[in-house]
Amino acid sequence: MEIKDGSVIYPVPDDALLSEKERKWRIQLPSTYKAFIKKNNGAIPIKDSFNYNNHSYVIDRFLCILKVTGQSDDEFYDIGVVRTQLEERIVSDEDLVGVELLPIAVLFAGDFVCLDYRQDRAEPSVCVWDHEESADLEPVTYLVSENFEEFLKTLTE
C-alpha cells in the first residue's frame, strides 16, 4: 500500500504493545492488520477511496495504536482514544467485556471503518460505522468486506 510521505505516526507499535491492546480489548487482531499497522501506523493512504452500495467513501487516515501519554496531538488518532469518544455508540451490549467494533480508519464526514467482531471473534469482517444513524447501544454498520486484506484491495484513488 502506498501512503502519503510523512503521514505515519511514530512510534509504530511493536508486538508487545499489540499484545497488550489485544488483551485489553479481548480480541485477536488479524495478522494482516498487525503487519499493516506495524508499518503504516496512522498513515494517510494515497488510494483512499472505496465504494459500497452505490456510495463512495474517502479515508481521511488510518487510526494508530500508541502508548497514550497525553503529550502528543497525534494521540487524537489512537484507536483507544477514538473508542472512548464513541463509547456506547459502537457497542450493542453494555454488559459485554471486550470489543465488538474496533475503529481502524476515520472517514470523511465522521464515519469510521471498523473491524467487526460481532459475527466472528476469530476473523472479523470490515464495516463502515455510520455516525448519523447510530445511537447508544444501537450501532448502524454496513459490511464492506469479509476481511481486512480484502478491504485493502478495494481502495482506489
Kindly list the structural domains of the chain, giving each domain's residue range(s) and its CATH number in brackets, ordered by start: 15-153 (3.40.1580)
Three-state DSSP class for residue 156: strand
Residue linked to cell 484491495: 153
Mean pLDDT of the chain: 93
Q: What is the pLDDT of residue 36?
A: 98
pLDDT of residue 95 exceeding 70: no
Alpha carbons 116 and 111: distance in angstroms, whole number: 14
Continuous H helices in 12-154: 15-25, 31-40, 79-86, 148-153
Residue type, 56: S
pLDDT of residue 96 exceeding 80: no
pLDDT of residue 51 exceeding 90: yes
pLDDT of residue 98 exceeding 90: no
Q: 45-66 in b/e burial notation, b at 16+ Cβ within 10 A?
A: beebebeeeeeebebbbbbbbb
- When pLDDT is cut at 50, 70 and 90, the band that residue 20 belongs to is very high
Q: What is the pLDDT of residue 6?
A: 96
Window from 18-22, 65-69, 101-105 with minimum mean pLDDT: 65-69
For the residues 134-150, what does the mean pLDDT come to? 94
Q: What is the pLDDT of residue 97?
A: 64
Residue 17, all three cell numbers:
504493545
Q: What is the pLDDT of residue 53?
A: 84
Angle among Cα 69, 72, 75 to the nearest 5 degrees reads 75
For the residues 137-151, what does the mean pLDDT come to? 95
Strand partners, 56: 51
Window from 43-47, 51-55, 144-148 with minimum mean pLDDT: 51-55
